[in-house]
Amino acid sequence: MTFQPSRRQFVVGSSALVAGTLVGCSTNNGPAAPSTSQPSLVAPSGTAAPELQPDASKVDVTGGPQWTPADLSGATLTMWGLNYAPHIERYKLMVKRFEEATGATVKLQPQDDVGQQMLTSLAGGNPPDVVCLLGIASDQLVSQGGLLDLTDVVYGDLKIDMPKWWLPDAIGAYTFGGRQFGVPVESSPHAGVSCRLDLIAAAGSKVDGLWPGAEPEDAWPAKGVHFQDFDQMFELAKALQQKSGEKVKVWGQNGQGWEIHRLAAMMFQQDTLWWDEAAGTFNLDNDSCVQALEYMITKPYALGIEANLAAQSTVNAYVAGQTALAIGNDSAAGEGTKAGFKGTNVVQPSIVPGAEPKFLGPGGWGFEVPVKAKNQAAGIEFARFATTYEAQFTFSQIYGGMSPACRALIKSEIYQGDTPLKSGQRRLLVAGENTQFQGHGFDPQVAGMFTAILGSVREGKVTTQEAAAEMQKQATAQQKRYART
């Protein structure tokens, strides 16, 4: 298949990479390279956790790949990925395992803007043999014939039982028209609420009945995994808010950034899809969207437990000590802990009272094989390797334990331990089973449009009804322009 780039690919290629997040703290599942327009996150401190070694005998690997490494002695393949230290560390560890198993040599070439570089390299006929890229940033590469269909040569060849081996949103990010164009190594990290444990401890009896984390793990999942409803979360935020006179020193909660994921999930909980992938249309000007916006912004602002902060990101606000609860990106608890604020994660409540929360997410990063790869056979072999328990285990230790793509990892030692962060991660793993992929095909620029409109709601300039109508109007118009270019 010939890759024929359209003008659109060169115009929006780089913005597609940040389709999942437009705020600058995280490309998707953890803190990314610092943005020039946002405060940088606190760098990791202390000694890194020891690297764990995968042992498939300790978990249930039923349905996994039946991979026999090919002999690639003398073969060299080029790998691209994100030029970001935590990613590079994971790539190197995976490469070492692959080289030892196959005899191949891998040339790792990290890229500052891997999405744009892929577009340029494919147009020039000189792509890498394998690339690590966000699935949700791959729409144009797939639609223009730039990526190899891995359905048969990887998944079919290895006899993988797809529902048993993968979490749904992770594999969904690499599924286009029922075909798989990549191998995921992460799932979505947007179900959690990061909570400051020092403030919870200081609040004492004020948080009795409000703090899900007080429940022992043997009560899960009936109790202790997620907030029962938004009223419980709002009351906890109110109890944790810190004031000096009339001045708020620490806000009860913050949910700025990643609004597109929260909005999509809360509408999904009301059985309404924000984006119809098959029809290529948005569905935002309705009561489900308005209700979601009320719980995202209007209610907590009216209660005085949240404000429009200059940090513009719930992670940055949490790391800076400006908020007790951070909603929308699960990395806040870990990043805050590095900054001295010990924390954990619990799962967000459902907007539907009494219902178990379910989510829509953008998936995460994974490995793809370009159609014009010079050593495509070796690239395919790396993709096959990436499906294995050993490869998935190796990547999932990023950030001390990221939300995995592979179900078999849920019970692995990566997420075991009695630290608050490990307990929080196990709560999030429960939510992973109830997370679906949010869909392909929409212009990534609409996320930025939503952020601007919701900023106006936060400032009291427009109502939630007006915001829903305006999001529908702007997103529809932008999607038409996107489709024409």
Residues 409, 286, single domain; the answer is no
**Domain extent for 240:** 192-361+441-484
Residues 134, 278, single domain; the answer is no
Q: Does residue 172 lie in a domain region? A: yes
Q: What is the DSSP string of 104-151?
A: -EEEEEEETTHHHHHHHHHHHT---SEEEEEGGG-HHHHHTT-B---I
Q: Does residue 419 lie in a domain region? A: yes
Q: Does residue 1 lie in a domain region? A: no
Structure-token pair, residue 260: 């597109």
Residues 379, 289, single domain; the answer is no
Residues 265, 341, single domain; the answer is yes
Residues 251, 334, single domain; the answer is yes
Rg of the chain, C-alpha, whole Å: 22
Q: Report the predicted TM-score, pTM, of the whole model to 2 decimal places.
A: 0.88
CATH of the domain at 302: 3.40.190.10
Do the Cβ atoms of 324 and 338 come closer than 8 Å?
Answer: no
Residues 42, 153, single domain; the answer is yes
Which residues, other chains included, contact 242 with Cβ-Cβ below 8 Å and sequence gap of 6+? 199, 248, 249, 250, 324
Q: Does residue 2 lie in a domain region? A: no
Residues 368, 357, single domain; the answer is no
Do the Cβ atoms of 86 and 30 come closer than 8 Å?
Answer: yes
Residues 416, 445, single domain; the answer is no
Number of domains in the chain: 2
Write out the chain's pLDDT in tens, 485 residues.
Answer: 444 443 333 233 333 333 333 233 333 433 333 232 222 333 333 345 689 999 999 999 999 999 999 999 999 999 999 999 999 999 999 999 999 999 999 999 999 999 999 999 999 999 999 999 999 999 999 999 999 999 999 999 999 999 999 999 999 999 999 999 999 999 998 999 999 999 999 999 999 999 999 999 999 999 999 999 999 999 999 999 999 999 999 999 999 998 999 999 999 999 999 999 999 999 999 999 999 999 999 999 999 999 999 988 999 999 999 999 999 999 999 999 999 999 999 999 999 988 999 999 999 999 999 999 999 999 999 999 999 999 999 999 998 888 999 999 999 999 999 999 999 999 999 998 899 999 999 998 898 899 999 999 999 999 999 999 999 999 999 999 998 76
Do the Cβ atoms of 363 and 188 come closer than 8 Å?
Answer: yes
Do the Cβ atoms of 393 and 417 come closer than 8 Å?
Answer: no
The backbone region for 104, taken as left when phi is positive above 0, alpha when psi lies in -120 to 50, beta otherwise, is beta
Residues 397, 282, single domain; the answer is no
Residues 213, 337, single domain; the answer is yes
Residues 473, 331, single domain; the answer is yes
Interior CA angle at 282 toward 299 and 435, to 5°? Answer: 65
Q: Does residue 311 lie in a domain region? A: yes
Residues 216, 340, single domain; the answer is yes
